[in-house]
Amino acid sequence: MNWQERIVVDPKILVGKPVIRGTRISVEFVVGLLGRGWSYEEILREYDHLTREDIQACLAYASDALQAERVYLLPG
């Protein structure tokens, strides 16, 4: 999945949060719905302008963002 074709970051849209291209629906929102137990079908029914590929792109983006994350331990 090449999320770069579907996910955009534009400072003029939702203060630069990553969103699905052509919408104001953020990756964070979609991943949150999935995390709360929504199915692809429920999301597509409520947001009928989205596609399965849009949802998959959100998950691919989140995966890449987490893989790039670095954790640094601070002396306690």
52 in any annotated domain: yes
Q: What CATH number should be reported for the domain holding residue 24? A: 1.10.10.10
- Long-range pairs of 51-57 with CB within 8 A, sequence gap ≥ 24: 53/1, 53/6, 54/6, 54/20, 54/30, 55/30, 56/1, 57/1, 57/3, 57/5, 57/6, 57/7, 57/20
How many independent structural domains does the chain possess?
A: 1
| pLDDT value for 65 | 94
23 in any annotated domain: yes
Please give the chain's pLDDT, 76 residues, in tens: 799 999 999 999 999 999 999 999 999 999 999 999 999 999 999 999 999 999 999 999 999 999 998 888 999 8
| pLDDT value for 34 | 98
51 in any annotated domain: yes
